[in-house]
Amino acid sequence: MKICMIGAGYVGLVSAACFSEFGFDVTCVDNNPERLKQMEEGRSPIYEPGLDDLMARNIAAGRLRFSGDLGPAVKAADIVFLAVGTPMRRGDGHADLSYVYGAVEELAPYLDGFTVITTKSTVPVGTSREIQRRLAALRPDAEYAVCSNPEFLREGSAIQDFTHPDRVLVGLDDARAQEVMEKLYKPLSIRNAPVMFVSRESAELAKYAANAFLALKISFINEIADLCEEVGANVQEVASAIGKDRRIGDKFLHPGPGYGGSCFPKDVSAIIRTARESKSPLSIIEQVQIVNDERKIAMAGRIVKAANGSVRDKTIAVLGVTFKPNTDDMRDAPSLVIVPMLQERGATVRVYDPQGQKQAEPLLPGVTWCADANDAILGADVAVVLTEWNEFRALDLKAARARMSGDVLVDLRNIFSADAARAAGLRYHSIGRPVSAD
Ligand code: NAD
Ligand code: UDX
């Protein structure tokens, strides 16, 4: 079976590499010349653990290739995936579908024989229907079915998530397409991954509902963390106690500086728009968006407070700027709100991130980029953990204190123990935990 993957970003490239690992023949098409050049040289243009090896193995086996030319790949394909971006649209905050519809127009002339065209991109309810309408106008002669196959992988653990999904969701209304999609996901269904066939509308909406619910869980625990601080409880104990209840579940209950990334912020915004347009507003999710926006601002305030009320002429070391660890992705990272606020208040900011510097450099002007965490904290009045990269967990806090000129450690990801920080002579601030507790 031949697959054409249009868009080789965090989702498209990982999906393409994983499908080729299953033994399918995959051509990955991208129109970004820089990304394409790197992939043609066998290198991943994004940082995703394990991806370089997976690509190398399947390129060598002749199952995975890259192209800037969509025509031959679409012509040969049994399945064409649309894995292009659907960023937040400027102005109204809805999903920008220009890349999706642009790709549909580009691929239409090349459809040859029965082809399944499926979105992997996250697209609002009704998009499959609209793609079908546009294709019917462009190619009334062609044989195809339009499906929705939203992707649930997370950056940083994308390969594991793709190959061990909680479920695969396929929205369709065509029996021939179902046969093709069953064959495609056989390598996963055989391992007992549930492959769910639903309507296209259900698949499209379920993706947004899942992300909105996860965003809600994070905002909930962030507010509970604030409450813990006021009443002397420990959010980690509270989260683990409520998480034991299987109706709640223990995942996505880590408090932090607010959710970021390429999905939650834009998808929360888009589902709010869909709901308002449908005159069925999601008032809870509207509040989640407000709580998350306010949280990032509040975290900058928390750093200022920890620095005795002012960061003017102080040096702040920021450890980690990506929206989460194990990615180089800076889209909607909380650091993009927090760091400029510290700079506006007169701070000098020294930054280290294990993978994020290249993407972050143009987005965080005026900061000093450092070679590692020890370099970043040199001479700092305040050290701030913004992203919980594993390498920060092993930081020798006593040695860190000795390199700093101040003694304040603000840990917005709760990776250190308060006792260890205090023993190292640091004044420690974390999220939702009493000062003396671990
Ligand atoms: P991305 O920006 O990393 O990648 C999109 C790629 O598409 C880019 O390389 C771009 O050059 C390419 N492209 C755009 N138009 C094209 C065209 N006409 N022809 C060929 N290539 C084209 O985006 P992403 O993070 O991979 O997200 C893609 C979609 O998947 C989005 O809808 C997103 O919401 C969804 N999604 C993302 C994640 C994630 O973790 N990033 C997870 C689940 C779902
Ligand atoms: C998310 C969804 O999890 C995934 O299913 C979807 O396909 C794409 O969007 P991703 O954005 O890659 O994945 O990362 P995720 O691990 O979900 O984290 C998103 C944000 O939430 C990060 O900023 C992270 O730090 C934050 N987060 C996550 C918390 O603050 N607390 C948590 O408990 C979990």
Half-sphere exposure of 316 (CA within 13 A, CB side): 32
Determine what percent of the chain is predicted with pLDDT higher than 70: 99
Task: State the average pLDDT over residues 222-250.
Answer: 98
Residue positions counted in the chain = 438
pLDDT higher than threshold 60 for residue 437: no
Which fold, 210-289? N-(1-d-carboxylethyl)-l-norvaline Dehydrogenase; domain 2 (1.10.1040)
pLDDT at position 274 is 98
Please answer whether residues 338 and 299 qualify as being in contact, where contact means their C-beta atoms are separated by less than 8 angstroms: yes
pLDDT at position 204 is 98
Q: How remote is the CA of residue 264 from the centroid of ligand 2, in Å?
A: 7
| 18 in active site | no
User: Which residue among 5, 10, 15, 207 has the greatest number of ligand 1 atoms within 8 angstroms of its CB, and so is best to mutate?
Assistant: 10
Closest atom, ligand 2, to C-alpha of 158:
12
215 lines ligand 2 (CB under 6 A): no
pLDDT at position 114 is 98
- Number of the ligand closest to the Cα of 266: 1
User: Which residue among 84, 110, 263 has the greatest number of ligand 1 atoms within 8 angstroms of its CB, and so is best to mutate?
Assistant: 84
Closest atom, ligand 1, to C-alpha of 121:
32
Q: Within the chain, which residue ranges are assigned CATH 3.40.50.720? A: 2-198
Q: How confident is the model at residue 375 (pLDDT cuts 50, 70, 90)?
A: very high
Please answer whether residues 275 and 208 qualify as being in contact, where contact means their C-beta atoms are separated by less than 8 angstroms: no
pLDDT in tens, 143-194: 999 999 999 999 999 999 999 999 999 999 999 999 999 999 999 999 999 9
* Of residues 75, 74, 73, 78, the one with CA closest to residue 145: 78
Task: State the average pLDDT over residues 54-71.
Answer: 98
Please answer whether residues 30 and 10 qualify as being in contact, where contact means their C-beta atoms are separated by less than 8 angstroms: no
Pairing of strands 408-411, 382-385: parallel
pLDDT at position 367 is 98
**For the chain, what is the radius of gyration of the CA atoms?**
23
The protein residue with its alpha carbon nearest to ligand 2, atom 14, reads 154
- Phi and psi at 274, nearest 5°, equal -55, -45
Q: How remote is the CA of residue 108 from the centroid of ligand 2, in Å?
A: 35
- Number of the ligand closest to the Cα of 6: 1
Q: How remote is the CA of residue 323 from the centroid of ligand 2, in Å?
A: 8
The protein residue with its alpha carbon nearest to ligand 2, atom 11, reads 261
The protein residue with its alpha carbon nearest to ligand 2, atom 10, reads 154
Q: How remote is the CA of residue 259 from the centroid of ligand 2, in Å?
A: 7
263 lines ligand 1 (CB under 6 A): yes
- DSSP code, position 290: H
The protein residue with its alpha carbon nearest to ligand 1, atom 37, reads 11
pLDDT at position 305 is 97
pLDDT in tens, 83-94: 999 999 999 999
Distance CA 258, CA 292 (A): 5
Classify domain 2-198 by CATH number: 3.40.50.720
* Of residues 298, 398, 406, the one with CA closest to residue 347: 406
Q: How confident is the model at residue 435 (pLDDT cuts 50, 70, 90)?
A: low
pLDDT at position 47 is 96
The protein residue with its alpha carbon nearest to ligand 2, atom 27, reads 259
Task: Report the chain's mean pLDDT, rounded to a whole number.
Answer: 97
User: Which residue among 14, 30, 48 has the greatest number of ligand 1 atoms within 8 angstroms of its CB, and so is best to mutate?
Assistant: 30
Q: Within the chain, which residue ranges are assigned CATH 1.10.1040.10? A: 210-289
Q: How remote is the CA of residue 100 from the centroid of ligand 1, in Å?
A: 10
220 lines ligand 2 (CB under 6 A): no
- Number of the ligand closest to the Cα of 332: 2
- Number of the ligand closest to the Cα of 10: 1
ipTM of the complex: 0.99
pLDDT in tens, 180-230: 999 999 999 999 999 999 999 999 999 999 999 999 999 999 999 999 999
Is residue 370 left, alpha or beta, with left meaning phi > 0 and alpha meaning psi from -120 to 50?
beta
Distance CA 235, CA 237 (A): 5
pLDDT in tens, 272-313: 999 999 999 999 999 999 999 999 999 999 999 999 999 999
pLDDT higher than threshold 90 for residue 434: no
342 lines ligand 1 (CB under 6 A): no
* Residues 6 or more apart in contact with residue 173 via CB below 8 angstroms: 145, 199, 200
Catalytic residue among 18, 28, 263, 370: 263
pLDDT in tens, 307-341: 999 999 999 999 999 999 999 999 999 999 999 99
pLDDT higher than threshold 50 for residue 438: no
106 lines ligand 1 (CB under 6 A): yes
